[in-house]
Chain A
Amino acid sequence: MRRRWVLPAYSAGVIAYLFLPIGVMVAFGFNDARGHFNVVWHGVTLRWYRHLFDIPDLAMAIRNSLVIAAISTVLATALGTAIALAISRHRFRGRGTANTFIFLPMATPEVVMGASLLSMFVTLNVARGLVTILLAHVMFNISYVVVTVKARTSNFNTEWEDAARDLGAGGWTTFRTVTLPLIFPGVLAAAVLAFALSVDDFVITSFNAGQTVTFPLWVFGASRFGVPPQVNVMGTLLLLVGGAGALTTVALQRRKG
């Protein structure tokens, strides 16, 4: 009781640490940068905010990244949650194998995996673009989703579900009203992770993007000449949108309980 402030203070510290480089990024979005490089501080300006969309291809790259991330998150979360449920709650032949090999995609170096995927797409005459990026992102996200959801579904207590079934609920209804709410934090955490991984993916996307340009690809290529401050501004705005989303959940919680 005496030291209730320790944990919150510690948490604030860690979160501050997590946002330290982000703070630098936000700050340099206001930098009166000279030349193409944005590394030395020259003073505050809002001109990058005014000229946010001056760079023709940056906005398109961000849009591509967000669309891909949204779709691949939904798919990967659905597929991965199903696998996690299967492994955690059922005993079946091949369970051990599935449990072991589900880690493999996470352990596979991206450069070789990306190239092998590309090789397969080329052989099958699949045009590279948004679709192939999606296929790849869902693929590597499934493992991450499975591992995260399993943290929630392991030692699953089936008595709630049994109770629902005794009361006459069918399989899907049981899932929707009993199972899903119970595992929801795990599913949400997995979805958030998958989204972040997709938005940030570089190597596998490089190989399988065809003529589509995503945000990390563009920024990495631009870093050869100097990342323009508009990138910092876009990053800041993305954060603000994400932050607004987070605060909305707080408001929603308040209304619920």
Chain B
Amino acid sequence: MRRKTPYLLLAPGGAWLAAFYVVPALSMLSVSLQRGSLERGYRFAWRWQTYTEVLGTHHTQFTRSLVYGVFVTALCLAIGYPLAYAIAFRGGRWKNALLFAIILPFFVSFVIRTLSWRFILADQGFVLGPLKSLGLLPHGFHVLGTPAAVIGGLVYNFLPFMVLPLYVSLEKLDHSVLDAAHDLYSNRWSAFRHVTFPLSLPGILAGSLLTFIPAAGDYINASLLGGPNTTMIGNVIQREYLTNTNYPQASALSLILMVAILAMVGLYVRLLGPEELTG
């Protein structure tokens, strides 16, 4: 029974994913290798050039998306770690309430969240307006339409994804271990660096993955908060599929993105440490 347990545990979820992910993903692969057009019809043709073509045309947006993704993950980690730490160790009976609070903004549609940010960051809005009247900012200064606005929006939207796993991993830590660390090390920072931080690696890994992976493929923030020069690969794929009806190209781009993300994730996992630490 022991030996079969893992397979039994994997089976239901695995079957679900096999039916509703793997099959459509394989069909996506098939479409990426087809040639033709919407009106002239498609034919399967093992057309690998599509991959090189789309990579050639859109490598800028690819790189930009992966770079934005790394930035966003780093920022979310920097901002989110202290928050997760605070909730885990100082939260007391407010822990669960605070966790809910962090995720509550998500229950309002992304359209509303992003439109509200557009209102807040408007050129003459209640944030930038007064700053400009006071002369603290040049008159032509604007946030919307810049990469900063896109990254800001991404950080905002993915912060809960970073905080929740971090919290989950930090909260697990045994207080006696932490107390022992405080006794061992002369100051709290050393204790943190040598004991707490390494023990929270699984949370860091999980949070980074939950942030980087969807952020790299995001299109909404670039679309609503960005400008002509902040196009991300998600926007390109959206456009190729919906506007240009270039289904093979959109599928090829998607697969390239998935492979690139997997590669970066694999690298990151290796960087973080051996499997015993990260699970």
Contacts and interface: CB of A to CB of B under 8 A. Distances in A.
Do A and B come into direct contact in the complex, CB within 8 Å?
Answer: yes
Interface residues of B, number: 98
A148 B164 contact: yes
B45 interface: no
A238 B217 contact: no
Contacts of B1: 171
Secondary structure of the B side of the interface?
helix
Contacts of A49: none
Interface stretch (B33-41, B49-57, B84-92, B131-139): B84-92
Interface string B75-107: 000011011011100100111111111111111
Contacts of A100: 262, 266
Given A25-B108, A185-B168, A235-B108, A107 B96 contact: no
A83 B217 contact: no
Given A18-B156, A138-B16, A112 B112 contact: no
Interface stretch (B142-150, B189-197, B249-257): B249-257
A151 B20 contact: no
A189 B86 CA distance: 16
B3 to A, nearest CB: 8
A103 B265 contact: yes
Contacts of B5: 86, 90
A107 B109 contact: no
Contacts of B257: 107, 109
Nearest to B14: A83
A2 to B, nearest CB: 11
A105 B18 CA distance: 11
A52 interface: no
B108 A155 contact: no
Given A98-B10, A189-B167, A7 B104 contact: no
Most chain A CB within 10 A, of B13, B161, B253, B254, is at B13
B238 interface: yes
Interface in A154-194: 154-156, 171, 185-186, 188-189, 192-193
Interface in A181-231: 185-186, 188-189, 192-193, 196-197, 199-200, 202, 215-216, 219-220, 223, 227, 231
B262 A107 contact: yes
A150 B202 CA distance: 8
Given A104-B262, A112-B28, A15 B98 contact: yes
A220 B168 CA distance: 33
Contacts of B251: 112
Contacts of B109: 200, 215-216, 219-220, 231, 235
A224 to B, nearest CB: 11
B105 A154 contact: no
A223 B220 CA distance: 14
A153 B279 contact: yes
Contacts of B111: 216, 219-220, 223, 227
A63 B35 CA distance: 42
Given A144-B210, A243-B100, 6 more contacts: A11-B82, A82-B9, A87-B279, A112-B237, A113-B28, A148-B206
18 contacts: A7-B82, A8-B90, A11-B83, A18-B101, A89-B6, A104-B25, A107-B214, A109-B217, A113-B24, A144-B210, A151-B202, A186-B168, A189-B164, A232-B112, A235-B107, A235-B109, A246-B97, A246-B100
Interface of B: 1, 3, 5-7, 9-10, 12-14, 16-17, 20-21, 23-25, 27-28, 31, 79-80, 82-83, 85-87, 90, 93-117, 119-120, 156, 159-161, 164-169, 171-172, 202-203, 205-207, 209-210, 213-214, 216-217, 234, 237-238, 241-242, 247, 250-251, 253-254, 257-258, 261-262, 265-266, 276-279
